[in-house]
Amino acid sequence: MIATAGCGAGAALALALSTTLPFAGRVQVIGTPAEEGGAGKVKLMDAGVFADVDAAMMIHGRCGTQVWRPTLGIIKVKAEFFGQAAHASSWPWRGVNALNAVIGLFNALDAMRQQIRPDARMHGIITKGGEQANIIPEYTSAEFYLRAITVDYCWELLRRFTAAAEGAAAATGCRVTVTHDPTVHEPLKPNATMAGLFAKNLELIDFPEDPDDGQAGYGSTDCGNVSQRLPTIHPYIRISPDGVPGHSREFAEEMTLLRGILAERGRPPQSFPVGKRVYVALDRDRARAGKRLAEWFGAFYGKPELAEAVCVWGDAEACVEGLRAVIAAGAGFLMLNPVFDELEQLERLAADVVPRL
């Protein structure tokens, strides 16, 4: 939906208006990769891509049409604990257990949640828990996402997170380092003027706005950073029924709903191609790939079980089968999103999977 709306609008304007706009200025279609994982828009802004942009818009697909929906700011943070290795059975008193420290951090954060704002989120995974069971772990690490409705409260969460990590280290005799990503995903800044115009245009095409279904919290996007610097809107357009999570297999299946609506209104469904981003992991060891995906989705979304719903993984045959299922559900084109080892994955997908779709 993101790519379809942006590229489609640009193509439609070019076709309808040729090279002449009814106002001064121009319309740009700016490709902005890594919206959630790498803050692509922030990097492009830093490079001057948005320097002459007066207003921006990005559209998301969702289980309901909403012109305005808040997003959370996010700080990504890593905690590393350093202890002392020793034999876990014969010399445990000689060890300093870094795994106890990282577990202590998780317990401290669980206790802290009662005292943080209800719209804030703290979620993470252990990325290194030790080497094997008979060795006291001397090094452990964990990655967390700290989210809040304001950047100031994100920094407050980081302060409290750091104190919790230092407390866990002190309690176990370990040393700790806490590092955070220098790029902060900022919350969306509303723009009532642009949102009002978008809502009026929805009325013109008889595409009603939906009330909030109350079934989901808020995510984060680097579009928020753009909105803090220039007028921006980030509407959501319904392409599935209420309660269907984005990025899920159910979401892919419900893409047929949009085609049905078009057919009812006398518009050829094939004239409105639907795109779908699919997370992929090409690996002969399916169990290993599944574990890595669950860890990534746990760190990023706080829900490792999402990997099962929104990803295609395994060897080339399994990936071909999974992607064909998404195409059969109505996707006119696919945006393949490798979750890890991006360059290697893209090369293997191009050689072993894409030609068979």
Residues with Cβ within 8 Å of 349's Cβ and at least 6 positions away in sequence, in order, are: 280, 282, 319, 336, 338
Tokens representing 38?
């790498």
CB atoms within 10 A of CB 64: 21
User: What pLDDT is recorded for position 316?
Assistant: 93
User: What pLDDT is recorded for position 87?
Assistant: 96
User: What pLDDT is recorded for position 179?
Assistant: 97
Tokens representing 136?
């006291």
User: What pLDDT is recorded for position 43?
Assistant: 87
CATH of domain 73-180: 3.30.70.360
Tokens representing 202?
């929805």
CA distances from 179 to 13, 127, 137, 159, 217 (A): 45, 14, 21, 12, 27
CA distances from 240 to 80, 140, 247, 313 (A): 41, 41, 11, 24
The architecture in CATH of the region 1-68+190-238 reads 3-Layer(aba) Sandwich (3.40)
Q: Where are the domains of the chain?
A: 1-68+190-238, 73-180, 241-357
User: What pLDDT is recorded for position 308?
Assistant: 82
Query: CA-based angle 50:67:248, to the nearest 5?
Result: 90
Length of the chain: 357
User: What pLDDT is recorded for position 297?
Assistant: 78
pLDDT tens digits, 69-113: 999 999 999 999 999 999 999 999 999 999 999 999 999 999 999
User: What pLDDT is recorded for position 146?
Assistant: 96
Asked whether the beta carbons of 256 and 91 are under 8 A apart, the reply is no
What's the chain's average pLDDT? Answer: 86
- Hey, which residues does 327 pair with through a beta bridge? none
What is the mean pLDDT for each group of 10 consecutive residues in the chain (357 residues)? Answer: 78 72 79 72 90 91 86 95 96 96 97 94 94 96 95 97 98 97 92 94 86 79 93 87 66 63 70 72 91 82 76 92 84 79 85 91
pLDDT tens digits, 31-46: 877 666 667 888 889 9
User: What pLDDT is recorded for position 115?
Assistant: 94
| Angstrom distance (rounded) from CA 247 to CA 240 | 11
User: What pLDDT is recorded for position 168?
Assistant: 98
